[in-house]
Amino acid sequence: MSSFFLKGKPRTATKRKFEKPKPNKKDIPSARKEKEESDEEIDSDEEEEHTIAAASGKKFNFEDEDEGFKETVQDKRLRLAKKYLKEVEDAERVRKEDEEIHDSVSAVLKEDYLESIGRLYREVSTRYKGFDLEKAVNLRCKQQHLSPTCLCLTEDDRFLYVANKNGIIVRWDLTKKERTAVTKSQKTAVLGLAISHDLKFLVVADGTNEIKVLDGTTLEAVNSLSGHSDVVTGVVFRKNTHQLYSCAKDRTVKVWSLDEMLYVETLYGHQTPVTSIDALSRERAVTSGGSDCSIRIWKIVEESQLVYNCPPSTDSVECVKLIGDEHFLSCGTDGSLSVWSSGKKKPMNTVQLAHGKTTNGEANWITAITSLLNTDVIASGSCDGFVRVWRLVGGSKTIEPLMEIPVEGFVNGLTFSSDGKQLIVCVGQEHRLGRWWTLKQAKNRTMVIPLIVADDETKGKRKKKFDH
């Protein structure tokens, strides 16, 4: 029999090259699962809507999706983009308002800091329109029958202290226009007053070589400071401290600490009796040397001094007053009024015969000067019948007249209120330092003169520093 009919092993089918493999039954359920998952996938448009809604901070709302059937895909994208941009703009607007508040607070803090270091300068002279003598208040005390010699005002403008030639000091409440305390008379005239920032101490240069310390409220004696060998002519507190500076006819300047009631040190330099003294927040004092025709700035910490010599035509420097820590005023018996810069040895500007001449051709002494602190407004007084208010022009380089207030008598004291709306004047029949002549038609009194000032009078142009 042929081998063709013989049984043998079955022939295995050979796998062709391009034949597809048959699916395995075990893989069928997983394929169905993948199909179901693919059916649940979100299309690209719907995914973008979810993304934009999440970026805008809102949950996706399927009602919006229902409305979307009425608009195309591009319209929907545009609508959602506009909605997102609007919310971004609202958030940005709120942020900018917060920034504006922050900037305004920063500006106020910066202004307070510049003012504390004496570098805030405001141009307010253009807002002064005049004065109102009809509303002026006259403060008079029967015990003070002689000419007033000096005054000082508290920082809040509420209390005013006035002293006169018979040594009486009166404390006035300016809000009620009544006196609250009076001291007893003495044999010597009071030459200087200074009140501390917290009203704790009232310091008095009472015409002796001692400095009297009184309670600022009751005017009762607290202590006395001894150290000067001649009459004390001026006293001043360093701003917002209990550090006291004094000057005297013994040609010295002394530093005191009233917290411990102790003497600190003595400063030498003037060749003649020191006539006046002033200070602000820095540990510096400025003094006038009288007939030695010099002005000195004492640097207490550095233990040094700056000397400014007046022009040869000056007879004597009687008063000195700080405008800020970098500029100051001076006046003398020759009737000249000068403005100085601490960076220059010569005055920037001088007004000769600022208050005219007497009937015999001599210059009227300037007996008192003051300044509205850190502004371009100053004032001076004499015996010519006017208190003259001046303005500083060109970065304090020029003195120009602003107004003239008629006041009969010797102007022995001047000060502005802190807001510049009032000018307080001590007027007497005699000069505060002597009785060379008498104006009998004058009355011994203290005048509170209202000044007419436009709105925002203390918000003139702000400068970080004075221009030199």
Res 158: pLDDT: 95
**Alpha-carbon gap, residue 298 to 310, rounded angstroms:** 17
Closest of 456, 444, 432, 462 to residue 122, by C-alpha: 462
Q: What is the pLDDT of residues 258-278, one digit of tens each?
A: 999 999 999 999 999 999 999
Pairing of strands 201-205, 192-195: antiparallel
Pairing of strands 398-406, 128-131: unpaired
Between 455 and 282, the more confident residue is 282
Between 464 and 401, the more confident residue is 401
Res 436: pLDDT: 86
Q: What is the pLDDT of residues 80-138, one digit of tens each?
A: 888 888 888 888 778 777 777 777 777 777 877 776 665 678 889 999 999 999 999 99
Q: What is the pLDDT of residues 142-167, one digit of tens each?
A: 889 999 999 999 999 999 999 999 99
Residue recorded with tokens 């060109």: 394
CA terminus-to-terminus distance, the chain = 137
Cβ neighbors of 260 (< 8 A, separation 6 or more) are none
**Alpha-carbon gap, residue 393 to 395, rounded angstroms:** 6
Task: Point out the least confidently predicted range of 191-200, 231-240, 351-360, 398-407.
Answer: 351-360
Res 17: pLDDT: 46
Q: What is the DSSP letter of 124?
A: -
Average of per-residue pLDDT across 348-377: 92
Using only C-alpha atoms, the chain has a radius of gyration, in whole angstroms, of 42
**Alpha-carbon gap, residue 308 to 65, rounded angstroms:** 85
Q: What is the DSSP letter of 340?
A: E
Phi/psi for 232 (5° steps) reads -80, 130
